[in-house]
Amino acid sequence: MPRALLSVSDKSGLADFARGLAARGFDLVSTGGTARALQQAGLSVITISDVTGFPEMMDGRVKTLHPLVHGGILARRRRADDLAAAAAHGITLIDLVAVNLYPFAKAAANPDTPFDALVEEIDIGGPSLVRAAAKNFEDVTVVVSPADYPAVLDELDRREGPSREFRFELARKAFAHTGRYDTAIAATLATVAAGPDGFTRGGPTLLPPALPVDLRKVRDLRYGENPHQQAALYEGFGGQPGFRLLQGKELSYTNLLDLDAAARIATEFTEPAAVVIKHTNPCGAATGRTAAEAYVRARDADAPAAFGGIVGLNRPIDVETARAIVPTFIEAVIAPAVHEEARPVLATKTNMRVVVPGGATAEAAGEIELRSIVGGVLVQARDIVREARGAWPGADGLKVVTKRQPTAEEWQALRFAWRICAHVKSNAVIFTSADRTLAIGAGQMSRVDAVKVARLKADASGGQALEGSVAASDAFFPFRDGLDAVAAAGATAVVQPGGSVRDQEVIAAADEHGLAMVFTGRRHFRH
């Protein structure tokens, strides 16, 4: 009779799968908790101890590591000497191995899991069984995912049994399974600090000497930034998807980049906020009493640029917000959720993508970002605008450097501007009120040019004056000319990091113009 070895941590669908194997003439060999689960389901089971002649020992650390097990898996059916060796040593061949591994990643995701308990979730026998079966895929069917159980049973019903191509595909999945498992272990242990008093989780560094990365393809995309570039979306850092599509066309490469930019800005705010993104830059951002009001303000900040944009909201889309969105051509909108009654309204724009978060968080990525360059990969800590999380002027690090202090309204506007400016491509200078952007100068070679672009944008959007606005610069003004340009545009207060060798000249210029200027002590370049 054919023999199947079952030893799984994830017992989803196990009983039905085992019944299917038994109905097809398989003897069932199993271990520990899997054997008990099968017996409770009324199935006849050969325990691993019956096969090896040894009890499971050391709290289950040793049970399947035995020649009578691995010989049965690794014996090549086309090799007479392998079969003779198996017969000589009383080794029964094993034709199917269904194994998935201890839930190490789940234990590691809980910061309260003690280090000693974490070590016990490192599977030894399981990966060995999987790798052995996958290596011998020509003769052994290896199954690591309960999702494959039905397909395996269907293949077993073929006259010739599972096809070579099917077994090879399962083998590839098996090696990927053990690879991800080892990657999770390596990545977790890289955050453990060893000291004389034991091991501490949460250290020793954000950027360890080696950085294991687990990336799994979700799907191919139509193309990349341009039609001649291949592209695909991969899940990484825990396997949680970043976005879930509720309606509309498939998301493109550039859609995904813009959705990421939109989500990052919208989540900077606790009050209702909205942003419209074009090419990863905000063309308008605003807060309001409601999500609908915030969206309309953000859209109208640069209405021509909003056409074909990506919208980000930090509140669920209700009917009022949906009705505000649909009159404008919007490529995609991302929000925490969508009210059921708002869905028919959004559905009137059949091609508009409506997206909600898929489960991943910035924290799940370990607060790091990766970017490939020729010959390597750059890794950095994610930029977080921590200094603007609380109300101003109470935040640490803020310093008023001019003779005039900002007014209460200017403080509110400066904080708003700073949270948006941190997400604009450098060099950036933006102008805002206390609750909306007025003009954005993004990605220029000098700050004077950034101010000029912002003024052009203000003029193009209906002659909207910048008089009485505040300005934010993502990095210091290297010369006073940038500050002079900001003052000429009509701003009354400025926020910037400071740190230039000519800071005193810039401060003097602000005083000449009667501006209030705040240094944050923290730069926010975005390349």
Structure tokens at 471: 């300005």
Instruction: Answer yes or no: are the C-beta atoms of 277 and 255 closer than 8 Å.
Output: no
Separation of alpha carbons 339 and 38, rounded Å: 44
Rounded Cα gap, residues 261 and 311, in angstroms: 10
Q: Are residues 508 and 487 in contact, defined by beta-carbon separation less than 8 angstroms?
A: no
Measured CA to CA, the distance from residue 278 to residue 308 in angstroms comes to 8
Integer Cα distance of 26 and 162 in angstroms: 14
Among 323, 312, 305, residue whose Cα is nearest residue 355: 312
Residues 73 and 239: their CA atoms lie apart, in Å, by 30
Write out the two tokens for 378.
């750059």
Give the N- to C-terminal CA distance of the chain in Å, as an integer. Answer: 63
Length of the chain: 527
Distance CA 411, CA 404 (A): 12
What gap in Å lies between CA 38 and CA 47, rounded to an integer? 11
User: Beta strand pairing status for 232-236 and 281-287?
Assistant: unpaired
Q: What is the DSSP string of 384-439?
A: --GGGSS-TTSSTT-EE-SSSPPPHHHHHHHHHHHHHHTTSPSS-EEEE-SSBEEE
Secondary structure of residue 269 in the 3-state scheme: coil
Going by their DSSP bridges, the two strands 493-496 and 470-473 should be labelled as parallel
* Closest among 18, 19, 111, 29 to 64, alpha carbons compared: 29
Token code pair at residue 261 = 């930019």
User: Which two structure tokens, joined as six digits, stand for 96?
Assistant: 């199917």
Active site residues: 135, 279
Rg (CA), the chain: 30
Both structure tokens of 452: 């000029």
Chain centre distance of CA 472: 29
Token representation of residue 133: 């079966």
Q: How far apart are CA 36 and CA 30, in angstroms?
A: 9
**CA dist list (Å): 453 to 300, 330, 431:** 18, 24, 11
Distance CA 144, CA 130 (A): 8
Cβ burial 158-187 (10 Å sphere, 16+ → b, else e): eeeebeeebbeebbebbbebbebbeebbeb
For residue 375, give both structure tokens: 């010959």
Q: Are 206 and 127 in contact (CB under 8 A)?
A: no
